[in-house]
Amino acid sequence: MSVIFRTEGLSKYFDSLKAVDGVDFAVEEGTIHAIIGPNGAGKTTFFNMLTGNFAPTAGKIIFRDEDITGLPPHIITRKGIGRSFQISNIFGGLSVYENVRVAVQATYGDAPGILVRPKWLDEVDEKAQEIIERVGLTQFSRVQAATLSHGDEKRLEIGLVIAANPTLLLFDEPTAGMSLDESHQTMDMLQDLAKRHTIVLIEHDMDLVMSLSKQITVLQNGRKIAEGSPAEIRGNALVQQAYLGTAI
Amino acid sequence: MPLATVYLTIMPNQMIATIFDGLTRGMLYVLLALGLNIILGLMGVINFAHGAFFALGAYITFTLSQRLGLFPAIIAAALCMAVLGMIMESTFIRRLYSRPPEHVLMFTFGAFLIIVQIIRKIWGDTPQPLSPTGFLAGSINLGFSQYPTFRLLVVALTVLVLIIVYLILVRTNLGLTIRAGTRDSEMVSILGINMPLTFTIVFGLGSLLGGLAGGLEAPLYNIDPNMGATYIIIAFLVVIVGGIGSFWGAVVGGLIIGLLQELTVQLIPGGSSAEDIVPFAFMLLILLVRPRGLFGAEGLFD
Amino acid sequence: MATSALSAHRRSSWNGLVPLAAWAIVLVLLPWFMQHVLKSNVALATNMLIFGIAALGFNLLYGHTGELSFGHAAFIGLAGYFAAYQILNHGWTWWPALGLAFAATMLFAFILARVIVPRSTGIYFSMLMLAVGQVLLFIGERWNAVTGGDDGLQGIPRPTYILPGSPLNMNNELHFYVLVAVIAWLATLFMWRVVHSPFGAVCHAIRENKQRAEFLGYNVTRYKINAFVLSATLPAIAGVLLGYYDGAVNPGEMNWTESGDIVMMTLLGGAPTFWGPILGAGLFKFMQQYVSNYTQFWEGYIGIVFVGFVLFAPQGIWGLAEAWWRNMRAGRASKTAGAPEASAENAS
């Protein structure tokens, strides 16, 4: 197993607030790696730097031995990092099929195809169908995305993310606001995705984190305070302190 | 400005009078732009209807002044515009807050067209002159020259209104809500402040300032149904120059643009043909140096 | 299921043939309809089409990509001035005048797009475009030597020679209509291809969710710049046609209220639809002429209709018709079972 993704001393300061402060972080290929921490620990800010929403104040982001620090989101996406958001981020006014088709199309470059119909359009169609099937939305293919249920919207978003065939998947609280049932379905889906992709996730649901992840990184006040296997984290005194006695 | 220096040494009195004219003109822009800015901060949208309220304020002043006298007519017209603004916000615009902001923009554009046509229907297309009457008709010796009393009233009244608006913004709960609402309306509603009522009042306040600017404009220049279309653009430029959502931006931006226009018209031969371009040129200059305007804060429009 | 949806998409690229053929028939019948049913004239039909072309272009940026420009009349005016200047001062004929005006306006649009699009979005973009239009308006009003000032440039003769051996005489209103109709149909074909191309699909994605489009790997700013430039093509052509139609260009064509008219046409017809802007422009121009026969305050009445649509039917007339048609079909389909149809297809 090799390290596919790492950060070195990654920091983001907003004026005097050190939202993320000198975080070293490494993900091994083919694993599920969770980032946990109390509210305001800097987890989402950390993610936002990884995907290029903000440029870091200091530090480096390295993906497959390439420095991707400060690149804009669309370039980072094309390098093979996909992101799912806390609130499902889909194209509400388009049909499920159109959603996935435009996601697949992104992997075929920017040919406008205005005057001549590109040959690869049929291929795009086939791949879009495959992905819709893979996330289990075939019967909703022609339904407007905004009318889907909460859980189905999440599946669609995951479909959009995997359409780019990313190496690394970043999930920001994939089960936020879900019913217990939907949470379990999402867990199964994450486990399924882990067979093909490396996954980094931010999650509050400790059961999910403990049962799914191989490695856990704990952030508090922008700093990394612990890292290790679920068992190690469970027994870590600092972590328990950070959560103020919350059972982990 | 070497040309201005020349004028200042040859004809100091005329130069000072020109500066005063520029300031009175600027005062109108300040009032109009401040009203626009308050509503803009609230809704995140340029309110085109503001230009129509400005014109309607001028015309109502014109009609009422024949019965009430000029000064009471100006005040009454401004209050009418406040009421009209509040009615428009609470009946129509409120329905659009949940929509994309372009819909509010389009609504105010439609309202602008309708009000301008109503003005044409009632008062006709011919420009109407309105002269200051009574004690406002005379002039006062300011030492350097005689200066029209009405222009001094414009300055005095605008300064008074600005102080009141400033105190409202800084000292009252309403002002706090306006300032907070400009940044984060969700947070304000969490605080449990009655947002719908606040929105209506703020819209009324903004419209009041627009109507007041119209009433004060009427005796200075001729009034015609298209005046709103011209002035709304200038007010919009003042807002951009000063910075969106900024009180001092509207004040400083309005005065500078008024002054620049007056100096161009009176001091440069043939300058009146550049009168309309000056505000745009100034805006481009400011945007190059300070993209968010003179007093612009981060991010309202992003 | 997979194969049926696939073939549905294959079919959709052919689907265009039916609406475009129908549109050609409408164009053929329109003069007759204007004269004998509406008791109006051919010239009005020409005017409707010219603004239909402009609004169709404008809507690529608004209805399809999600950015509202309050300054697109500037492109109409600018192209009109370029053509008129060359025709009147250098005796240029139809093709070179059209070519130069188009190229020059597109160059302007290209530079403008690179300056404005990366720096602004949403309402700020609308306002910057408004400011651009006003600057051009004032230049038009004041640069007397070139633009003719407030009077504009007058006395543009209709083109006499368009194609070798063509029997068309542009001083005949019906012949001029034929020219405009052919251009309108080609413009529609072009915009149909744009909207239904992979490029158009990305525009729709950007309209729905800029962030997600970016996180799919699309350079959103670059797509918006391209959409901006493409959306100026048709107004530029409309501007030249309008110059010939009126026999003059004047600075008022670039005023912000004129840009507002294009916004109104598009919203009335249906911004989220392909055909809405053309329908809206036709209705607007017809209302303008019809209502102005009865009252000089026609703008107020159009304003009332417009405000009504903004408040109660922002999807516009074509959007209402599409929704009604979908409900009819869904009603029929639900008898045989099945999920509701997607409403997003921007086609027909």
Domain borders along chain A are 1-80+166-248, 91-165
- Find chain B residues with C-beta within 8 A of C120's C-beta: 301
**Residue of chain C minimizing CA distance to B280:** C135
Q: At what angle do helices B49-68 and B12-43 cross, to 10 degrees?
A: 120
Which string of b and e fits B240-266 if b means at least 16 CB within 10 Å? bbbbbbbbebbbbbbbbbbbbbbbbbb
pLDDT beyond 90 at C234: yes
Per-residue pLDDT tens digits of chain B, which is 302 residues long: 566 666 666 667 777 888 888 999 999 999 999 999 888 877 777 899 999 999 999 999 999 988 888 889 999 999 999 999 999 999 998 888 888 888 888 899 999 999 999 999 999 888 887 777 766 777 777 766 777 888 888 888 999 999 999 998 888 877 777 766 555 555 555 555 567 788 888 899 999 999 999 999 988 888 889 899 889 989 988 988 888 778 888 999 999 999 999 888 887 777 777 777 888 888 878 877 777 788 876 443 33
Q: How many CA atoms lie within 13 A of C47 on its CB side?
A: 15
* Longest CA pairwise span in chain A (Å): 65
DSSP code at position A146 = G
Task: Please tell me the predicted confidence (pLDDT) of residue C339.
Answer: 44
Q: CB-CB: which of B107, B236, B237 is closest to C311?
A: B107
Q: Measured in whole angstroms, how far is the alpha carbon of residue B249 from the centre of its chain?
A: 13
| Residue B6 within any structural domain of the chain | no
State yes or no: pLDDT of C89 exceeds 50. Answer: yes
C309 with C319: CB under 8 angstroms?
A: no
pLDDT at position B52: 95
* Contact between C172 and C186 (Cβ < 8 Å): no
Nearest residue to A96 (alpha-carbon basis) of A67, A52, A129, A121 = A129
| C182 confidence band (pLDDT: 50, 70, 90) | very high
Distances in Å between the Cα of C312 and the Cα atoms of B96, B115, C100 are: 10, 20, 43
In CATH, what number is assigned to the domain containing residue B141? 1.10.3470
Q: What is the DSSP string of A2-40?
A: -EEEEEEEEEEEETTEEEEEEEEEEEETT-EEEEE-STT
> C168, C178 in Cβ contact below 8 A?
yes
Burial of C32 (0-12, 13-18, 19+ CB in 10 A): exposed
What domains appear along chain C, each with residue ranges and CATH number? 19-335 (1.10.3470)
φ and ψ of B224, to 5 deg:
-145, 160
Integer Cα distance of A97 and A100 in angstroms = 5
| CA distance readout (Å), C150 to B226, C16, C244, C253 | 16, 44, 19, 11
What was the pLDDT predicted at A231?
79
- B116 CB neighbours in chain C (<8 A) are 299-300
In a domain, B46, yes or no: yes
Nearest to C311 among B92, B102, B229 (CB): B92
- As for how many domains chain B has, the answer is 1
* Least CB–CB distance from A78: residue in C5, C217, C222: C217
| pLDDT value of position C156 | 85
B7 within a domain of the structure (yes/no): no
For residue C75, pLDDT over 90 is answered with yes
Q: How far apart are CA A145 and CA A159, in angstroms?
A: 12
Chain C CB contacts of B44 below 8 Å = 123
Domain that holds residue B277: 18-289
Question: Which tokens is B227 given?
Answer: 């005046």
* Mean pLDDT, rounded, of chain C: 86
A-chain residues near C194 (CB < 8 A): 114
Q: B12 near B208, Cβ under 8 Å?
A: no
Q: In the 8-state DSSP scheme, what is residue C159? A: P
Top-level CATH class of A1-80+166-248? Answer: alpha beta
Distance CA A68, CA A63 (A): 7
Distance from CA of B247 to the nearest CA of C (A): 19
Least CA distance to C4: which residue of chain A? Answer: A129
Listed as ranges, residues in chain A with pLDDT below 50 are 247-248
Mutation target to probe the C interface, by most C beta carbons within 10 A, among A48, A78, A86, A105 is A105
Kind and range of the H or E run holding A144 = none
Work out the average pLDDT over C268-282.
93
Cβ of B109 within 8 Å of Cβ of C141? The answer is no
Residues comprising chain B, all counted:
302
In Å, how far are C19, C28, C67, C280, C346 from C16, measured between CA atoms?
A: 6, 18, 25, 20, 12
Query: Residue C116 class from Cβ within 10 Å (0-12 exposed, 13-18 middle, 19+ buried)?
Result: buried
Instruction: Flag if C198 and A105 touch (Cβ within 8 Å).
Output: yes
Residues of chain C contacting residue B225, judged by C-beta atoms under 8 Å apart: none
Inter-chain residue contact C310 with B103, CB threshold 8 Å: yes
pLDDT at position C10 over 50: no
Cβ–Cβ < 8 Å for C273, C343: no
Residue B1 domain-assigned (yes or no): no
Enter the tokens of residue C10: 């294959």
Q: Are A228 and A206 in contact (CB under 8 A)?
A: no
